[in-house]
Copies of this chain bind each other. A is one copy, B any other.
Amino acid sequence: MSDTTRPGEFELIARYFAPIAGAGGLGLVDDAGLLKPARGYETVVTTDALVAGEHFFADDPAASIARKALAVNLSDLAAKGAKPEGFVLSLALPHGWTEAWLADFAQGLARIAGEGACPLIGGDTVSTPGPLILSITAFGSVPAGRMVPRSGAKPGDVILVSGTIGDGALGLQAHGPGKLAWVARLSEEHRHFLADRYLHPQPRLALATALQVHASAAMDVSDGLVGDLAKLLKASKAGAEIDLDMVPLSAAARAAIMADPALAELAWTGGDDYEILCTASEREYLSLIVAAEAAGVALVAIGRVTDEGAVNYREKGRARSFAQGSFAHF
């Protein structure tokens, strides 16, 4: 810092981060923040780290990077049926960061924190010779004993997903450098839609209460539907029958698959959807769909939980298998 006129850590916190802080952040001048769950509630804790060049492009807009870093954590809270209560940010800034970048970052963070009603309650900022790394730990509240686990799926339960699947992985290709042939063939509107879905995931917070009341198991789809379903079923010690034709696709994703049919596999297995994958009993799943619709989110049934170990996928009536289960950032 000595060779520049950039402000020090404490000025940066006061200028850019204190305005995002909630009461539990204690003005970001203490060593700690406070969580005060209401009586009868528990705190759900989730952590996600994002690395520049791996989970986003280093030259993505700073506001978009901030948005994504918090959104992927809010997505986890939503999947657990939890109401956001706050988050802490650990920010490893690469050498050469500018105050303009940080101002843009803080503005994006403030916006998603406001949308999610999830104030900053603490954090740490360090400097790294490596790429930008953001690690967020987010907190949500659920009535005691009501967190929606990964492990609650029972044979006979209906398997559902929210929104549309595949936009994130297709959007990564539409947004990234080195445009592919199919991207060039897409309309500007569809290209933009997919890139925006990759850049600005929408955490399904509106679903949290419906999931908490009606779902037997849930997780967010961050590493691809096929791989994440395998994780949910493994945790639940169950299998599934999935009808791939029921997996909801956006108009843009359908156009992309029309341009290149091989992209269907990418849509099913690629990451970055941040939709909700969940299960509900035969008795509850219609109520879940209705409650989700009332919250403004479409939930679609794509299959059933079975007591077999395997997941059997069918597409147009024929069995289908996947070589690569899931996208792993690690």
Contact = CB atoms under 8 A, between A and B. Distances in A.
Given A30-B151, A76-B31, A133 B131 contact: no
Nearest to A329: B126
Contacts of A71: none
Nearest to A25: B45
A42 interface: yes
A87 B221 CA distance: 25
A1 B328 contact: yes
A30 B122 contact: no
Contacts of A8: 328, 330
Pick from A47, A55, A127, A144 the residue with the most CB of B within 10 Å: A47
A271 B1 CA distance: 18
A54 interface: yes
Contacts of A49: 90-92, 124-126, 135
Contacts of A296: none
Contacts of A317: none
Interface residues of A, number: 68
Given A49-B124, A133-B128, A149 B26 contact: yes
This chain: how many copies in the complex?
2
A43 B35 contact: yes
Contacts of A144: 36
A124 B130 contact: no
A43 B137 CA distance: 14
Contacts of A175: none
A198 B290 CA distance: 58
A201 B237 CA distance: 42
Contact of A88 (B45, B89, B123): B45
B45 A33 contact: yes
A131 B133 CA distance: 11
Interface in A77-126: 77, 79-80, 82, 86, 88-92, 94, 121-126
Contact of A76 (B32, B125, B139, B220): B32
A206 interface: no
A9 interface: yes
B149 A30 contact: yes
A328 B129 CA distance: 16
Nearest to A138: B32
Closest 7 CB pairs of A and B: A130-B130, A90-B135, A35-B43, A137-B137, A9-B330, A135-B135, A32-B46
Given A30-B219, A49-B125, 6 more contacts: A8-B328, A30-B149, A48-B124, A53-B129, A54-B126, A88-B137
